[in-house]
Structure 1
Amino acid sequence: MIRDERGHVLLVRKRGAQVYQQPGGKRDPGDRDDLHTLRRELHEELGCTMDESSAICLGTFSAPAANEPGWTVSAHVYEVRAEGPFVVQAEIESLVWVDPAAPGDTPIARLSREQLLPLMH
């Protein structure tokens, strides 16, 4: 979970996906922990840098996977500070900043819409 100065939350949409979700990803061999994975993923997908000392663990959350029908995603979620610029790259096709209290009609993955955005307002 990354917020801007207005308190809006950054969401990304992967290439070929229909919905937005929090940036992040799966652990790769060599990633030593969650924060190492998150820092690597943010840099690969958005070109930004993460302040690891700012990380606050919000918990582990599960929901039906947005991009893999029939699967469940389990996410270790952190709120972190990150510095841009935020540039769409790698498998990310689009990014948007949404007001967590009023995300409007932005198509958002269930995990993000139902569990994570409510934590941020």
Structure 2
Amino acid sequence: MIRDEAGRILLVRKRGAAVFQQPGGKRDVGDRDDLQTLARELHEELGCTMRRESARLLGRFSAPAANEPGWVVEAVVYEVQASGPFQASAEIEALHWIDPARPGDLPIARLSREQLLPLMVSPTGS
């Protein structure tokens, strides 16, 4: 979860996908922990730099996978600060900043819409 100075949350849409979701990805061989994976993925997919010391674990979540019917995504989610530029690259086709309290009719993955965005508007969301 990345917020901008206005409190909006960054969502991305992968090439060929219909829905937006949080940026991130799967651990590669050589990644020593979640935060190294996240920093690598953010840099590869968005060109931004994550500030590791800013990371705050939000928890572990699961939901039906948005891009792989019949599968469940298991996510370890962090709120982090990152500096731009934020540009769609690699498998990311589009990015969008949204108000987590009012995501509108943007097509958003279930994990993001039902669990993560509400968390960011609760009293415990920063």
Unaligned residue ranges in structure 2 (runs of 5+): 122-126
The equivalent residue for 2:68 is 68
SS of equivalent residue, structure 2 residue 41: helix
Shift of 1:11: 0.2
* Structure 1 gaps, min length 5: none
What is the CA-CA distance between 1:6 and the residue it aligns to?
0.8
2:33 corresponds to 1:18? no
Query: What corresponds to 1:107 in structure 2?
Result: 107
SS at match of 1:89: coil
Aligned twin of 2:49: 49
* Residue 88 of structure 1 pairs with residue 85 of structure 2: no
Q: Deviations over 1:32-57 (max 9, x none)?
A: 00000000000000000000000000
CA apart distance, 1:98: 0.5
TM-score (norm 1): 1.00
Compute the TM-score of the two structures, normalised by the length of structure 2.
0.96
The total of aligned residue pairs comes to 121
- C-alpha distance in 2 between matches for 1:27 and 1:91: 16
Aligned structure 1 segments of 4 or more residues deviating by more than 6 angstroms: none
Per-residue displacement from partner, 1:7-42 (whole Å, max 9, x unpaired)? 100000000000000000000000000000000000
